[in-house]
């Protein structure tokens, strides 16, 4: 197994606050890796450091063996990294299909784009809503559209920040199936997730962040069996 993503002693300070402190993680090519930890642990900040939205105060990000620490977000996209942020960012006034086209423009044209759009709409189960303004979608469907916009960039590494937030149990289950099916096609997926049942179902390995630091890292069974993880995770 080779690493697709590595962070080396990453730090991010906001004024006097260390949101991310000395974080070294490794994501292996081909795995589903979950990033968990209490609210405020630094998960979304770490994602933004990986995607290039934030520059680190210290440390490095390696993607497919290359130091991308000083690469712009679009350069990281060009190398095969794509992110769905925690805060929804669909274009609410535009139809669902057009939201996808905006992302697809970066990877394909003409007939290829039409084919890819149809394939994504089907995968996301949004065929019947293609002409609807994205703002009219149910919350769970908006999350799927966002996943679709990230997929349109044809990533080898997909980063999903809380993809199941606000979803019904059925939508959550469907999202798990989507992630597993993408992974079966060879995509590496790094997911920030709160729902431990969901994590158990999809993750091969887990990293736990707590107070900006790596608290535990290992196989799903190892991490879930660690009593210290339950303590911080349940806030006991
Ligand atoms: P998580 O995603 O694990 O809930 P975040 O990465 O969003 O945590 O936040 C980690 C810490 O950094 C929190 O204390 C949060 O308030 C703070 N923080 C996050 N983003 C900013 C920012 N842009 N400016 C100042 N503080 C921030
Ligand atoms: Mg977050």
What is the rounded CA–CA span in Å between residue 213 and residue 18?
9
The whole-number average pLDDT for the span 86-90 is 84
Residues 113 and 204 in one domain: no
Residues 227 and 166 in one domain: yes
Give residue ranges with CB within 6 A of ligand 1.
14, 17, 19, 37, 39-45
The alpha carbon of 179 and the centre of ligand 2 are apart by a number of angstroms equal to 19
Residues 213 and 102 in one domain: no
Atom of ligand 1 nearest to the CA of 212: 10
Domain total of the chain: 2
Residues 75 and 8 in one domain: yes
Out of 19, 37, 54, 163, give the residue to mutate to test ligand 1, the one with the largest number of ligand atoms within 8 Å of its CB: 19
Atom of ligand 1 nearest to the CA of 20: 10
The alpha carbon of 210 and the centre of ligand 1 are apart by a number of angstroms equal to 12
Query: Over 70: is that where the pLDDT of 236 sits?
Result: no
pLDDT digits (tens, 9 = 90+) for 56-72: 999 999 999 999 999 99
Q: Which domain, by its residues, includes 140?
A: 88-153
The alpha carbon of 3 and the centre of ligand 1 are apart by a number of angstroms equal to 27
Residues 76 and 160 in one domain: yes
Question: What pLDDT sits at residue 86?
Answer: 86
Residues 15 and 124 in one domain: no
The alpha carbon of 94 and the centre of ligand 2 are apart by a number of angstroms equal to 26
The alpha carbon of 120 and the centre of ligand 2 are apart by a number of angstroms equal to 26
What pTM was computed for the model? 0.95
Residue with tokens 């996808």: 100
Residues 21 and 73 in one domain: yes
pLDDT digits (tens, 9 = 90+) for 106-152: 999 999 999 999 999 999 999 999 999 999 999 999 999 999 999 99
Residues 117 and 211 in one domain: no
Shortest-distance Cα residue to atom 25 of ligand 1: 14
Atom of ligand 1 nearest to the CA of 46: 6
Residues 75 and 159 in one domain: yes
* CATH number of residue 185's parent domain: 3.40.50.300
Among 153, 176, 191, the domain boundary falls at: 153
Shortest-distance Cα residue to atom 7 of ligand 1: 44
Q: Are 55 and 213 in contact (CB under 8 A)?
A: no
The alpha carbon of 1 and the centre of ligand 1 are apart by a number of angstroms equal to 32
pLDDT digits (tens, 9 = 90+) for 186-209: 999 999 998 889 999 999 999 999
Shortest-distance Cα residue to atom 18 of ligand 1: 19
Question: Which residue would you say has higher pLDDT here, 83 or 234?
Answer: 83
Residues 125 and 199 in one domain: no
Among 134, 153, 172, the domain boundary falls at: 153
What is the rounded CA–CA span in Å between residue 26 and residue 134?
35
Residues 102 and 134 in one domain: yes
Shortest-distance Cα residue to atom 15 of ligand 1: 40
> From start to end of the chain, where are the E strands?
3-14, 17-28, 32-36, 58-63, 66-67, 81-84, 157-161, 188-192, 205-210, 213-219
What is the rounded CA–CA span in Å between residue 19 and residue 25?
16
Residues 4 and 47 in one domain: yes
Residue 36: nearest ligand to its CA? 1
Among 153, 182, 202, the domain boundary falls at: 153
Give CA angle at 167 (162, 172), nearest 5°. Answer: 80
Query: Over 60: is that where the pLDDT of 168 sits?
Result: yes
């Amino acid at each position: 197994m080779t690493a697709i993503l590595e962070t080396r002693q990453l730090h991010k300070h906001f004024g006097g606050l260390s949101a991310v402190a000395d974080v070294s993680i490794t994501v292996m090519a081909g795995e589903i890796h979950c990033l968990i930890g209490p609210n405020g642990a630094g998960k979304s900040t770490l994602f933004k450091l990986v995607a290039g939205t934030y520059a680190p105060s210290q440390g490095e990000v390696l993607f497919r063996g290359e130091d991308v620490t000083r690469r712009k977000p679009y350069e990281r996209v060009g190398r095969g990294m794509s992110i769905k942020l925690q805060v929804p960012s669909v274009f609410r006034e535009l139809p669902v299909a057009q939201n996808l086209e905006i992302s697809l423009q970066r990877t394909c044209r003409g007939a290829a784009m039409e084919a890819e759009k149809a394939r994504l709409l089907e995968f996301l189960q949004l065929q019947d809503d293609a002409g609807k303004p994205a703002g009219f979608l149910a919350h769970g469907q908006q999350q799927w559209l966002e996943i679709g916009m990230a997929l349109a960039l044809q990533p080898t590494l997909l980063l999903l920040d809380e993809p199941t937030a606000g979803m019904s149990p059925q939508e959550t289950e469907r999202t798990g199936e989507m992630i597993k099916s993408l992974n079966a096609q060879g995509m590496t997926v790094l997911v920030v997730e709160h729902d431990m049942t969901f994590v158990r179902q999809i993750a091969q390995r887990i990293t736990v962040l707590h107070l900006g630091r790596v608290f535990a890292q290992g196989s799903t069974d190892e991490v879930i069996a660690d009593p210290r993880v339950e303590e911080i995770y349940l806030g006991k």
